[in-house]
Amino acid sequence: MLWNRRTDTFTLGQWFKGRIYERRCDLSPDGTHFIYFAMNGKWSDVSKGSWSAIARVPYLKALAFFPKGDCWNGGGLFLDNQRYWLNGDSCHRPSRDSTDLQRERAHRPVGGRGSECLSVYYPRLLRDGWRLTDHLSAGPTDHYDVFEKPLADGWLLRKYAHAQTGSPPGKGCYWDRHELVRPQSGLCLTQPDWEWADVDSHRLVWAEGGRLWTGSLTASGLLDRCSLHDFTNMRFEHRTAPS
């Protein structure tokens, strides 16, 4: 989907029958290109069953195509509108690139962890204004890092980024939970159903129950919840990217 954040209008791009690893994806600053890592399990196909690609927003058609063959590394980050870093660069198979973008092989992002989702996700959070404040554990199979981002009126958006074996139903091994905290007044509003949340300019936005939401914060709490878009009635349709 293309989300025009100035007008809160949404344009359907393409569907994909497979898994897109959203924590290994990134959008160029000007919103024109999308780098992603995907898996469809067709290991004998030209994609080798998993691949990294760069597409023109909001489509998935690969302008740059990097077959992978497993689910380690993959995806990447944009350094600016013209340059990008490919996660696990040397782990990809011979590739095809029809973009004018420059692949930065020597770049090493700050804050990455391991060789899966957190190798891209954490550098992206830090780049986009989140602050890593703590590393905690809820047992031998659940470790999580705490990130915070300031909001209006003294509030903080807090993100607990879990890496968990045996995660709750509907969650992957990497999943987030969120809360709103106002330290000066001691308020803490837990948001167990938020799957994603961030700050868009000066407003709070989040995903919950198959919808994208926004709301305003005052000294007393979260008010004026507004659904920006409802995705729950969407069904697969075959769509071809323009040439």
55-71 confidence digits (pLDDT tens): 999 999 999 999 999 99
Rounded average pLDDT over 163-181: 95
Domain assignment present for residue 22? The answer is yes
How long, in residues, is the chain? 243
Whether 3 and 108 share a structural domain = yes
Whether 190 and 85 share a structural domain = no
Say yes or no to pLDDT of 201 above 90.
no
Whether 164 and 225 share a structural domain = yes
Say yes or no to pLDDT of 21 above 90.
yes
Question: In the listed set 112, 142, 160, which residue is the last one of a domain according to the structure?
Answer: 112
Structural domain count of the chain: 2
C-alpha angle 221-223-227 in degrees, rounded to nearest 5: 135
For the entire predicted model, the pTM comes to 0.94
Say yes or no to pLDDT of 243 above 90.
no
Whether 165 and 103 share a structural domain = no
Whether 104 and 147 share a structural domain = no
Domain assignment present for residue 119? The answer is no
Identify the band that residue 95 occupies on the pLDDT scale cut at 50, 70 and 90.
Answer: confident
Domain assignment present for residue 165? The answer is yes
The H-assigned helical ranges of 17-148 are 118-127
**Are 218 and 153 in contact, with CB atoms under 8 Å apart?**
yes
Whether 97 and 6 share a structural domain = yes
**Domain span including residue 105:** 1-112
Identify the band that residue 202 occupies on the pLDDT scale cut at 50, 70 and 90.
Answer: confident
